[in-house]
Amino acid sequence: MNSIKIRGEKGQSLILVAFAILTLLAFVGLAVDLGLAYVERIRVRRAADAAALAAAAELPLEDAAHIRALEYLEDNDYGCDLQVSAAAATFSCNDTSTVRLEINGNYISGPAEDDATRTVRLNTVDFRDDPYQ
């Protein structure tokens, strides 16, 4: 007589399992989305690094540097109408050495491809047209 049967709890485990499956699917979707965002972030960073290095090779001709950077962005499937500035570039290839880029006294440093330290100094002020002359 001490056992009382509650008849309204049939199918309760089905609801709990359904919520667990929905929660699991939500976490799987989140993991996939975050993974794709991480991969895209790496691709964008590599394309920007390639464009910055290509643009730096064209300096002190700023227009040629902008064109070269945009060409490299388009080659990496990131064609856009961005204004590319080589002075805002960061170089990252590996951790064995450093590339140092100095443009008009501003320094940008980052790892380079080989074991030698390189310094690039560019003074683009001397090559600009002076509008006040």
7 lies in some domain? no
How many domains in the chain? 1
Range of the domain at 23: 12-127
Find the mean pLDDT for residues 108-129: 48
Q: What is the 3-state secondary structure (H, E, C) of the chain?
A: CCCCCCHHHCCHHHHHHHHHHHHHHHHHHHHHHHHHHHHHHHHHHHHHHHHHHHHHHHCCCHHHHHHHHHHHHHHCCCCCCCCCCHHHCCCCCCCCCEEEEEECCEEEEEECCCCCCEEEEECHHHHCCCCCC
Taking the complete model, does pTM exceed 0.75, yes or no?
A: no
User: Which has more confidence, 4 or 1?
Assistant: 4
33 lies in some domain? yes
User: Which has more confidence, 109 or 75?
Assistant: 75
